[in-house]
Structure 1
Amino acid sequence: MRLLETLGELGGSARLSELADAVGSSRSTVHGVLDTLVEMGYVTRERTRYVLGHRLALAAHPARTRADALRRAFAPALRAFNESCGENCFLTVPGGTRAYLTLDALDGEGRALRLPANARRDALTTSAAGKIFLANDTALATRLRGARRISHALDAELATIGAAGYALDVQASERDLNCVALPLRLRGRVVAALSASGPATRLDPAFMRRLAKRSMRDLFNLVKV
């Protein structure tokens, strides 16, 4: 899976040496895995380069369909949240135990933000959106506790997030950048998060708390579908 992700990050085509360097494995190990992926059709060989195969696109089609459905369902919430705060806003979904993924984004003026081809990945334990997923997914939080990636302070914060209904990131992920996030529910289950990020001078904690509380009230019918 790491090789497939790396191929995507490299534009869908790369030499063996490039892939080995990128994943930090020997060429012989990477070559063996690539041979298996070629046999299965997930990668093809074009002279000296390995290229993502068509079978991968076919296998991913149901996931793309679900992602498109989430974009459509929560597009009004993303737009309304963006208009209410005037900052960069993001629609995000869980992406495993180390990151979340960004499906859609708007800049401070409501224009679409271009996302990388493999979507954006950010840490779960520091970002506001990541903490929304941890606070609402018991199994995910349990796995991270087992890996000792959740501190006592974060555990207490997750309990607070669960009660308050929103999460803050006060320069924890990036210096001078603050973020606020809200859960998005589909038939009662948290499936995504809505977040806004901006300079700490504009998005101070007091403002973010007011924004979150106002948004939960004003966007009630948009964040729960």
Structure 2
Amino acid sequence: MTTDIPRPTGVQSLARAFGVLESLAELGGEAGLSELAAATGLAPGTIHRLVRTLVDLGYLRQLPSRRYTLGPKLVGLGETAAHQFGRWAQPVLAELVAQIGETANLALLDGDQAVYVAQVPSPHSMRMFTEIGRRVPVHCTGVGKALLSALPAAESAAIVARTGLPAVTPTTITDPAAFAAEIAEAHVRGYVLDEGEQETGVRCVAAPVVGPGAGDNRAAVSVSGPTSRMDDATITRIAPLVVAAGRRLGALLATA
């Protein structure tokens, strides 16, 4: 005996379509119909109809292999949303720069990478600069490691399993056990350090955006500067300020 699957209403169809997009992202951005059906719990026929509609609209793209990937229409939406999110966070970043004197950044988790969406530069002539919209690996950046530290352990491990731990500089952590320990420690203390792991001569302190408003807005805030100014005493002083900025952003999201 089979159970009839109710015909979706308009709202239910919309929820299911977004569920397909989110499931595809969680599967690494590429999947077949059977994988999507298993991930969403929807019947194959329902998945097929939703996927065809999303392809027609440009939100999914079918590959020659007949598998599906996220479509180009999402790029513009994502960039606009990220830009708006970054503008909203500018006052908090500016306050952080005033307190610390180094460049402050905000990044979001996008798939298996971190993307910078806002920055307030340091007043120093020698300062760090990151182009807004730049995508960076999560394993060798402060914001990336902070993002991983706030995820459920299984999800964080899955991302690392997909991306690996390739060396970018001599100090990049490439040992899986050491990296897992680093993320676990960051989860406990609330912040993480980037010890020149992406760019030699640069140190960074980063913390996830947390609190009642953070929700699925997977974001991290960071402060970065040259090692000549970011000594151990400075790191000890500014780490609580970065953590507080992450909490403030999370609280502001709750009232936005």
* The two structures share one fold, judged by TM-score above 0.5: yes
Separation in 1, partners of 2:136, 2:159: 15
Alignment-mate amino acid for residue 81 of structure 1: L
- TM-score after normalising by structure 2: 0.56
Q: Secondary structure at the match of 1:103?
A: strand
Match of 2:103 among 80, 85, 88: 88
Which AA in structure 2 matches 1:122? V
Q: Which residue of 1 aligns with 2:29?
A: none
- Give yes or no for contact 1:90–1:195 (8 Å, CA) kept in 2: yes
Give the SS at the match of 1:224.
helix
Q: Which amino acid aligns with 2:192?
A: A
SS of 2:111 mapped into structure 1: coil
Q: Deviations over 1:17-75 (max 9, x none)?
A: xxxxxxxxxxxxxxxxxxxxxxx797xxxxxxxxxxxx94x544542443234224322
Q: Distance in 2 between matches of 1:163 and 1:203?
A: 22
Q: Deviations over 1:101-121 (max 9, x none)?
A: 1111121129xx6836xx212
Distance 2:239 2:130 in 1: 25
- 1:177-216 matches, within 5 Å, as 177-185=202-210, 187-189=213-215, 191-216=218-243
Partner of 2:183: 158
Pick from 198, 221, 234: which aligns with 1:173? 198
Matched-pair contact (CA < 8 Å) for 1:90–1:104: yes
> Aligned equivalents of 2:111 and 2:146: distance in 1?
14
Give the AA of the match of 1:127.
Answer: T
Q: After superposition, what is the alpha-carbon deviation per residue over 1:67-97, rounded to whole angstroms, capped at 9, x for unaligned?
A: 2342243222211111112112211111222
Number of aligned positions between the proteins: 169
Give the alignment's TM-score, normalised by structure 1.
0.63
> How many angstroms apart in 2 are the aligned matches of 1:114 and 1:214?
21
Structure 1 spans left out of the alignment, 5+ residues: 1-39, 43-54
* Aligned ranges 1:107-118 → 2 under 5 Å: 107-109=121-123, 115=131
Say if 2:161 is the partner of 1:134: no
1:102 aligned counterpart, secondary structure: strand
**Cα distance in 1, alignment partners of residues 57 and 77 from structure 2:** 18
Greater than 6 Å deviation, 4+ residue runs? none
Instruction: Identify unmatched segments of 5+ residues in structure 2.
Output: 1-55, 59-70, 166-174
Aligned to 1:71: 86
**SS in structure 1 at match of 2:218:** strand
1:63 partner SS: helix
Shift in alpha-carbon separation, 1:114–1:131, aligned structure 2, 3 A: closer
1:74 and 1:222 in contact (8 A); partners too:
yes
Separation of aligned partners in 2, 1:95 and 1:89: 19
Measure the CA separation in 2 of the matches of 1:217 and 1:145: 27
The question of whether the paired residues in 1 share the 8 Å contact of 2:106 and 2:119 is answered with yes
The code of the aligned residue for 1:91 comes to L
1:115 partner SS: coil
How far is the alpha carbon of 1:161 from its aligned partner?
Answer: 0.6
**How large is the Cα RMSD of the aligned pairs?**
3.1
Give, in angstroms, the shift of residue 169 of structure 1.
0.6
Whichever residue aligns with residue 107 of structure 1, its letter is P
